[in-house]
Amino acid sequence: MILILSIEQDESTIDIIKWLYYLKEDFILLNNNEFINSVTVDINTSEVFITTKDVTVNFNEVTSVWYRRGNFTLYNCIEIKDFIGDKVTEFFTEEKKDLFEYLHFLLSQKPSINNYNFKKVNKLIVLTIAKQLGLCIPKTTITNQKSVLEEELKGKSLITKPINDPISLYGDTYWFPTYTTSITAEKASLFDDSFGISLFQENIKKTLEIRSYFLDGEFYSMAIFSQLDEQTKTDFRCYNNQKPNRTIPFNLPLDIETKLKTLAEKLNLTSCSFDLIYTPCKQYVFLEVNPIGQFGMVSYPCNYYLEEKIAHKLKKYDTSKRSSAVIR
């Protein structure tokens, strides 16, 4: 039985599930809003049963795991809102943390795509490791001082983006995502002398951008021609839905793939997406890695059929061959 941990309405998860149905594979999907009602663990035998509203997962029957996005969620049974209640809540939070760590430890002994720690990588550490491996990276500065920013801007332009993950502000009638943004001397002149800690990088000229999905040692890369459109020039995710960027399959040089594969190994990732730039000087510049590994945007335009490949990867570990699939 294949266990999938994801979130509700994740399109890539839905696409994989369609393939698992087609392959007649037995699976259970646990979304992040699937509250666990009961847990039974026998440490001596390593037997684990977790039960939600509609399904029970027997860890002994799990043959492979796909860590997509979600995690286990347990009902909070503490309702007291005072000093003692807060302390008890904090205590139970730590109890659940250790329990979930143990559950993931047991699952880590089964074949899987990534692991429960995969969702968090430190961009600064990743850039440092990438440089140590011989990958070219943009000149990167982190500061909260206007004087330092103005010095960095002399003779060049910069971009800024979050150190951590981007945020999106949204409501019933609006959505404000976070994009990579260009920073000029004119914009910098509007800053206070001291501002919030920020990451700045050299605004490198691009011939094209590359999104490369990595799965189990193989690369599936796509070239994105984003530079002919002012809307997508700085960040191709500022999609022009009226006139989309041209995208085509692309082969990275072997030496670049080798370094990226070593980077994935050092980050303990078996599935992820790499973002790179190809410059007019014919240089490949590494930008960052997305550990969740968005692959739909690469799979469909390039006809890589990644959803089928992931389903087959999970299938080859599933020896239970039971007839029914359970989806929640």
Cα separations (Å) of 312 from 66, 171, 201, 264, 294? 12, 38, 40, 21, 18
CB-facing half-sphere around the CA of 60: CA atoms within 13 A? 8
**pLDDT of amino acid 242:** 79
Q: What is the pLDDT along the chain (328 residues), one digit of tens a residue?
A: 899 988 887 888 999 999 999 999 999 888 877 788 888 888 888 888 988 887 888 888 888 998 888 777 776 655 666 667 678 778 888 888 888 888 888 888 888 888 777 667 899 999 999 999 999 999 999 999 999 999 999 888 898 988 887 777 777 787 777 788 888 888 898 999 999 999 999 999 989 999 999 998 999 999 988 777 666 767 777 676 777 778 899 999 999 999 999 999 999 888 999 999 999 999 999 999 998 877 888 999 999 999 999 999 888 765 544 434 444 4
Query: 276: closest CA among 265, 266, 287, 268?
Result: 287
Of 285, 278, 158, nearest to 206 by C-alpha is 278
Question: Can you give the pTM of this predicted structure?
Answer: 0.83
* Cα 220 from Cα 249, distance rounded (Å): 8
Q: Report whether 219 contacts 193 (CB < 8 A).
A: no
| Interatomic CA distance for residues 252 and 102, integer angstroms | 39
Per-residue model confidence (pLDDT) at position 326 = 46
